[in-house]
Structure 1
Amino acid sequence: MLGIVLCGGQSLRMGTDKGLLIHQDKLWAQVAADKLSVLDLLVNFSVNP
């Protein structure tokens, strides 16, 4: 099984890239990847410009 963190998009309502926001001293995308890693999954990032 593979864990995928979806990143990117227009962020029209938020006005900024959510994946680059800081949460718990880490980027949101990294927090999501860390949660998948706990499940012993290989993690990939899907980035849409």
Structure 2
Amino acid sequence: MLVGYFLPCKIVVYEDNGKTKIGMPKPTVLMAMLDIEKRLIGCIDTVH
């Protein structure tokens, strides 16, 4: 069920135990991931 969070669409609708649920990742977490991505790219660039 949670695999939908990794797809390009940021809103996930699924059924769990007969109930419809709607979820999305927190924008603050997504922003933190972008910061980590920039840091990793910087590390890789310094190695070259």
TM range (shorter): 0.3 to 0.5
Q: Could you say which structure has the greater relative contact order, defined with CA pairs below 8 angstroms and 6 or more residues apart? A: 1
Structure of higher CA gyration radius: 2
Q: TM-score, normalised by structure 2?
A: 0.37
Greater helix share, structure number: 2
Greater strand share, structure number: 1
